[in-house]
Chains A and B, each alone.
Chain A
Amino acid sequence: MDLIKSVINTLASPTILFTLIIVTFFFIFPLNDWFYRWNKRLKLDSFWTNRGGIKMFIILLVFFAFGLFDENFRLIVLKPDNVPIVGLIFLVAFFTWLSMKQAVDNDVHIENNENVNEYSDPDDKVLTWPDLVYIELIALVLCTVLLIVWSIGLQAPLEEPANPTLSPNPAKAPWYFLGLQEMLVYFDPWIAGVLFPSLMIVGLMAIPYLDTNKKGVGYYSFKQRMMAVSLYMFGWLVLWVLLIIIGTFLRGPNWNFFGPFEYWDLHKLQPLTNINLSEYVYIIWFSTGMPDNILLREIWGILLILGYFLILPPLFAKTWLKNLYNRLGNFRYSVFIILILFALSMPIKMYLRWMVNLKYIVAIPEYFFNI
Chain B
Amino acid sequence: MSKSEKKKKESILLRLGNSQVWKSIIRSGVPRDRRGRMLSVLNSVFLHLHPVRMPKHAVKLKYTWCMGGLSFYIFLVLTITGILLMFYYRPTIEYAYTDMIDLREQVPLGIMREIHRWGAHLMVITVWLHMFRVFMTGSYKSPREFNWVVGVMLLTLTLLLSFTGYLLPWDQLAIWAITVGTNMARATPFLGHEGPGAALLSIGDINLVHAGSDVRFALLGGRFVGEAALLRFYVLHCIGLPFIIVIFMAVHFWRIRKDGGISTPL
Chain A residues close to B by CB (< 8 Å):
81, 84, 87-88, 91-92, 95-96, 98-99, 102-103, 115-120, 122, 124-133, 135-136, 139-140, 143-144, 146-148, 150-152, 154-164, 166-168, 171-177, 180-181, 184, 188-190, 192-195, 201, 204-205, 207-209, 211, 213-221, 225, 229, 232, 236, 364, 367-369
Q: Give the complex CA separation of A120 and B60 in angstroms.
A: 12
- Name B162-192 residues within 8 Å CB distance of A: 162-163, 166, 169-177, 179-181, 183-189, 192
A189 touching B184, Cβ below 8 Å = yes
Excluding A139-B61, A174-B181, 4 further A-B contacts by CB distance (< 8 Å) are A118-B264, A127-B41, A129-B40, A160-B171
Pick from A139, A164, A181: contact of B226, CB under 8 Å = A164
Pick from A92, A131, A139: contact of B70, CB under 8 Å = A139
B177 touching A368, Cβ below 8 Å = no
B119 touching A126, Cβ below 8 Å = no
Q: Give the complex CA separation of A217 and B131 in angstroms.
A: 15
Pick from B141, B169, B179: contact of A171, CB under 8 Å = B179
Q: Give the complex CA separation of A218 and B118 in angstroms.
A: 32
- Main secondary structure on B side of the interface with A: helix
A190 touching B171, Cβ below 8 Å = no
B138 touching A218, Cβ below 8 Å = yes
Q: How far is the CB of B21 from chain A (nearest CB, A)?
A: 21
- Segment from B9-17, B122-130, B233-241 that makes contact with A: B122-130
B196 touching A368, Cβ below 8 Å = yes
The interface residues of chain A lying within 8 Å CB-to-CB of B184 are: 180, 184, 189, 192-194
Q: How far is the CB of A365 from chain B (nearest CB, A)?
A: 10
Given contacts A131-B54, A152-B111, contact A189 B263 (CB under 8 A): no
Instruction: Rank and list the top 7 A-B pairs by shortest CB-CB distance, nearest first.
Output: A193-B184, A151-B114, A208-B145, A189-B187, A190-B187, A216-B138, A84-B121
Q: Give the complex CA separation of A172 and B183 in angstroms.
A: 12
The interface residues of chain A lying within 8 Å CB-to-CB of B172 are: 159-163, 166, 168
Q: Give the complex CA separation of A130 and B180 in angstroms.
A: 49
A369 touching B196, Cβ below 8 Å = yes
**Chain B interface bracket (under 10, 10 to 19, 20 to 34, 35 or more):** 35 or more
B195 touching A194, Cβ below 8 Å = yes
Pick from B101, B152, B173: contact of A204, CB under 8 Å = B152
B199 touching A367, Cβ below 8 Å = yes
The interface residues of chain A lying within 8 Å CB-to-CB of B156 are: 201
Q: Give the complex CA separation of A307 and B108 in angstroms.
A: 64
Q: Give the complex CA separation of A128 and B73 in angstroms.
A: 18
Q: Give the complex CA separation of A369 and B187 in angstroms.
A: 10
Given contacts A103-B136, A126-B54, A208-B142, contact A218 B174 (CB under 8 A): no
Task: Kindly state whether residue B208 has any CB partner on chain A within 8 Å.
Answer: no
Q: How many A-B residue pairs have CB under 8 A?
A: 275
A173 touching B177, Cβ below 8 Å = yes
The interface residues of chain B lying within 8 Å CB-to-CB of A205 are: 148-149, 152
Q: Give the complex CA separation of A164 and B179 in angstroms.
A: 9
Task: Kindly state whether residue B159 has any CB partner on chain A within 8 Å.
Answer: yes
A189 touching B133, Cβ below 8 Å = no
A128 touching B50, Cβ below 8 Å = yes
Q: How far is the CB of B2 from chain A (nearest CB, A)?
A: 28
A155 touching B62, Cβ below 8 Å = no
B177 touching A172, Cβ below 8 Å = yes
Task: Kindly state whether residue B97 has any CB partner on chain A within 8 Å.
Answer: yes
Q: Which residue of A lies closest to B172 (CB)?
A: A159
Q: How far is the CB of A171 from chain B (nearest CB, A)?
A: 4
A162 touching B170, Cβ below 8 Å = yes
B129 touching A91, Cβ below 8 Å = yes
Q: Give the complex CA separation of A98 and B31 in angstroms.
A: 35
Q: Give the complex CA separation of A193 and B155 in angstroms.
A: 17
Residue picked from A154, A217, A221, most chain B C-beta under 10 Å? A217
Residue picked from B70, B129, B184, most chain A C-beta under 10 Å? B184
Residue picked from A118, A160, A184, most chain B C-beta under 10 Å? A118
Q: How far is the CB of A309 from chain B (nearest CB, A)?
A: 16
Q: Which residue of B lies closest to A95 (CB)?
A: B129
The interface residues of chain A lying within 8 Å CB-to-CB of B101 are: 158
Q: Which residue of A lies closest to B179 (CB)?
A: A171
